[in-house]
Chain A
Amino acid sequence: MNDSKNPLSPHLQIYRWQVSSLVSITHRITGILNLLGLIFICAWISSAGIGENFFESFSFFLKNFIGKFVLIGFTWSMSYHLLSGIRHFFWDLGYGYEIKTANLSGIIVIIGSLFLTIILWMIGKGLI
């Protein structure tokens, strides 16, 4: 940032990204993605409820590359929102407000969401 005397309000093109803002906006974006994920889950359940033909079409999509990508994406999105939500719970209880702690917990959420995604897939696939 420059040293000009007049402070500038954050502008999208010159905004300096920090862990805190990145984790915060990603919490919202994954929240919206998770709603799409819930609708996706409803479609999957409904297809099984309607009949085998519908289910098989949905299954065919789930088993190909795009379907797998979508399912892994939703797993990550939900993992992220879950861990970031736990971070919010700590704040609600009054912990973790120090800048150092907040930055560290933010990084833990980002890295942890990737690990949680892998762990959920390994359990789902019977590898653990």
Chain B
Amino acid sequence: MKASRKWIFQRISALIIAPLIIWFLISLISLSTGDYNSVINFFSKPLFLFLTIILLIAGFFHAKIGLDEIFEDYIQDEKIKNVANLLTLLLTTIIPSITIILLLYKF
């Protein structure tokens, strides 16, 4: 991805994440002492399910761009940098994918 495009996408994803993470953290804190049914009820609401999925996609995408930037600054060896980029690409796609599939399957 071009650096200028990364710059734009980093900021667009940040704008999406900002309101959603505030909402999700409050919900998580509230649900953290609740029972299984309260969590099931939460994700059973189509809007909440939708917002959570958007948050996960935007969040991991934003994380991937940020990690690339850190690797760019601290890893000199091109080969090691490529391996690091590939590993984090796998990490930041597989984990949210599994979670989203589970969410869609369950709710």
Name A residues whose Cβ lies closer than 8 Å to a Cβ of B. Answer: 28, 31-32, 34-35, 38-39, 41-42, 44-46, 48-50, 52, 55-56, 59, 62-63, 67, 71, 74-75, 78, 82, 85-86, 89, 92, 120-121, 123-126
Contact = CB atoms under 8 A, between A and B. Distances in A.
Nearest to B60: A38
Contacts of B25: 74-75, 78, 120, 124
Contacts of A59: 32, 35-36
Interface of B is mostly: helix
A28 B26 contact: no
Contacts, number: 95
B33 A34 contact: no
Contact of A45 (B11, B26, B99): B99
B102 interface: yes
Interface string B55-73: 0100110010011001000
Contacts of B27: 124
Given A48-B39, A85-B14, A78 B21 contact: yes
